[in-house]
Each structure stands twice: as structure tokens, then as C-alpha cells.
Structure 1
């Protein structure tokens, strides 16, 4: 089972348990707090869960908060029944606000993650460009790209092979797709294959070699954006090799 699935299950469990614990902790203070204040505290618990998990976890936390607010904090206590009309409205508002705020929290977290990811991708491309512009050797550019590919794609390893096309390996294409072509059979991958994957390096219309990617088999492919950045890095390596006028395969 992947770490991502374990994380998702843990967050869903937290979505169920956290509102229960918050409601239980409020029991000694329920006569001194207004229903509105109690509901706001429950909303905070929902937001905390949503900031860690998915939209499903946020929605589940909102439902759990409404249920335990009813059970612990409204009369008759310890029953899923509400006798007071105002408290019914508060419970409904708690559910609605919890759902809305949880979705906003998840969206904000994802936007922040996207900004961090985009910045990292841009940094990789800029680093390669700066190295080439500073007159770095083409071998140095290739080595820089090789290291960047390991982190970018989550690989076990990566090596560069000059000017050979031995074997028929799955290939990371310019459009970001991962394909294997063997005769008339074409296979598209959604997960990393069990063998090395090639990322070809060309420059000025010439083939110079390929990066051989060593992934963790069975893992989902990285995002399309990450794969397109990998292709762009390989193109920068090809441009550096072509500018240096190294020998190539026609």
C-alpha cells in the first residue's frame, strides 16, 4: 500500500475522531458557552482537518462536527436529538459553514502547493540555462540535468548514455506521455514500468544520446507538468551538446 493511501486513510480517520474529541472536551463548559461559540470551536476543528487532507476529509469532518455538536452540546444531551429551535439552526449553520470553509481550506492548500511546485520547476530550468550561459561544459550541463531529473521525477537513479539506441525501451515523449512501441503494439503507461525508461536528447535536429531513468516500479507517474519539465531539461542538455559541436548520431 502506498504512503499516499495510508495518509488519506489516516486523514479520514482524523476527520471522524477530531470533532468527537473537541465535542467531548467542550462538555464541561457547555453550560457557560453559547451554542454559537461552541459551533465556532467545532468549525476550527473542521478547518484543521481540511488543511491536512482532501475535500472528502473536509466534508466528513463537517458532518462529524455537526453530529457531535448535536450529541454533546445540545439538549437533550447524549442523544442525536435537538429540542431547541435556535440550536437546530446553529447545527445546520455549523454543517453548512463547515462544508464551505473546509473546501476553501483544501483549495488554498492546493494552490500553495502548486505555487511551490511551479517555483521548483522554474528553478530547475533556470539553473540549467544559467549553467549553459556561463560557459559550463556540455558534460556539466548533462550532469546537472541528470541530478535534477532524479528529484523531479522521484527516481531511484538516472544515467546518461551517449549516442546509442540499444534496446526497445519505454520512452518519455515530448508531449509528456510514456509509451512503449514494439512492432504494431503500442502501450501507454499510467504507472512507471518495471524497466528503465528512456528520455531522448536531441539538439539542432541531431540525436546525442538519452537519459535512462530508473524509477520505482509500479509507482504512479509524476504530474504531467513535471514530465513536461523533464522533457524541457533534456532539450536544454541537447542544446548544450549541439552548441559544443560534439559528435552525434544522425
Structure 2
């Protein structure tokens, strides 16, 4: 699966930013408490997650905890901690860093959805209620299929439970489009030709895909595409306990 440039940059920052900031804090380690130094590193983790994704945030948290140990706890410049309070601080840095990074990544994904109109928000709310109340994943799939037709102004939409045949254009989790493994500018070029896949995942596993047939001349906004991705996520939640797990 193609990794967006923004996420690639964030992964690099997750590896490089924590050691760089920890090294900058070395002259202050005798004057500041380790809790204060750890909080500064948490800010770095949040910044990485805000520009990247959950993976980048988690990697930044692990990196921050490791370099906090290396640069800012005794014995210095060793991945060893002797003091019990420092161990506790390092563990808290890791846990807090992971938690807040996941929240920051989630906020990034939802920041555009937050400004959509009431109708779009109502779709998400209605679908979430159906996922919770319905005992039939097929019912959720059919409901989301109809919602996608409306949200994206499609000519049609179908769901495939067990197919990964071919390499059709793909609507990505960030609302972007990939065609032949290259970014496709939807705003400038409109939908690509042919059917477009929107993959559905449940608990990190591939569950199927919606195959979208765009309407003539339609150019859905980024907000609409993100709503569509979120609807697909809700489908994944409904399918999470149904059917075989397909590796991807």
C-alpha cells in the first residue's frame, strides 16, 4: 500500500526528532526535573503524530522514551536506568506519549470532517447507531453502500467481501487517490476512469472493499471523501467479527 509523503516525513521525524531534542536538553538535565524534560518530549511526540499517523506517533513515543533514557537519566549515554523514579518517568513518558499521539492522529483524520455540514454528520451518526444496534453486518454494508452513492455522487456502488483482484484506482484513508501506485489529484483531474476501490478494514485486517462507480463530471470534495472513508471504517467495525480474515 502506498505511503503518503506526509506520513513518510512523519516517520522520519519520529526517528530523528526525539534524539535531537533530547540532546538539546542535555545542558539542562541538572537543573530541570526529569518530569519536566519528559513533558517536553511528549510535546515532540504529539507534534509528530499531528503531521503523521498512529504508526508515526507510536514510533515517536518509543523513540522519545529510549533517548530520554540515553541522554537524560543516569548512567548517561547508556540505555540503562538505575533510579526507580527515572524508570517510572520513562514508562509514563512512553505510555502518555502513545496515548496522546493516537489522539492527535485521530484528530488529524477528523479535522476536516469537523467542518462538514449537518447532513454529513447525520450520516455518520446514523451509521454508527446502525453498527451498534444491528446484528446483521450485511445490513450495515447495504446501508453504507447507499450512503456512499449519495456522499460521493456515484452512479453505483457494490461491495466485494473477498476480492483483491486487479489494481483499480484506490481511495485512501487520508482522502487522497492512488492510480497505478501514483498520487492522483482529484481536485484538478476529477475521478479517474473505471471503478474505484475503497478498502474496508476491521481491527487492522482486510475485510473487503466497496467498488465505486463515479458519476459523470462529479468531483467530490476532500470533506466528502473523508466522510466516505469514515463510513467504510464503520463498516469494518460491523464486519470485525464476521467472516474470515484476509491478509493484505
State the TM-score bracket (shorter-chain normalisation). Answer: 0.5 to 0.7
CA contact (8 A) 1:15 1:46 kept: yes
Q: Do residues 51 (structure 1) and 32 (structure 2) align?
A: no
Secondary structure, aligned partner of 1:82: coil
**Cα distance change, pair 187–70 in 1 and its aligned pair in 2 (3 A):** closer
CA contact (8 A) 1:177 1:188 kept: no
Query: Which residue in the other structure is 1:12 paired with?
Result: 11
**Cα distance change, pair 80–187 in 1 and its aligned pair in 2 (3 A):** closer
What's the offset of the Cα at 1:111? 1.4
TM-score by length of 2: 0.52
**Cα distance change, pair 14–193 in 1 and its aligned pair in 2 (3 A):** closer
Query: Which residue in the other structure is 1:101 paired with?
Result: 100
Work out the number of aligned pairs and report it.
Answer: 159
- Structure 2 unaligned regions, length at least 5: 121-150, 160-164, 171-177, 181-188, 201-210, 219-248
TM-score by length of 1: 0.52
Query: Which residue in the other structure is 1:88 paired with?
Result: 87
2: CA distance, partners of 1:175 / 1:15: 41
Query: Which residue in the other structure is 2:36 paired with?
Result: 37
Q: CA RMSD in A?
A: 4.3
What's the offset of the Cα at 1:223? 9.3
CA contact (8 A) 2:6 2:51 kept: no
CA contact (8 A) 1:15 1:57 kept: yes
- Structure 1 unaligned regions, length at least 5: 123-151, 154-171, 179-185, 195-212, 235-250
2: CA distance, partners of 1:23 / 1:50: 18
What's the offset of the Cα at 1:7? 2.5
CA contact (8 A) 2:169 2:192 kept: no
CA contact (8 A) 1:19 1:68 kept: yes
Query: Which residue in the other structure is 1:175 paired with?
Result: 156
What's the offset of the Cα at 1:6? 2.9
Query: Which residue in the other structure is 2:22 paired with?
Result: 23
CA contact (8 A) 1:193 1:217 kept: no
What's the offset of the Cα at 1:44? 0.4
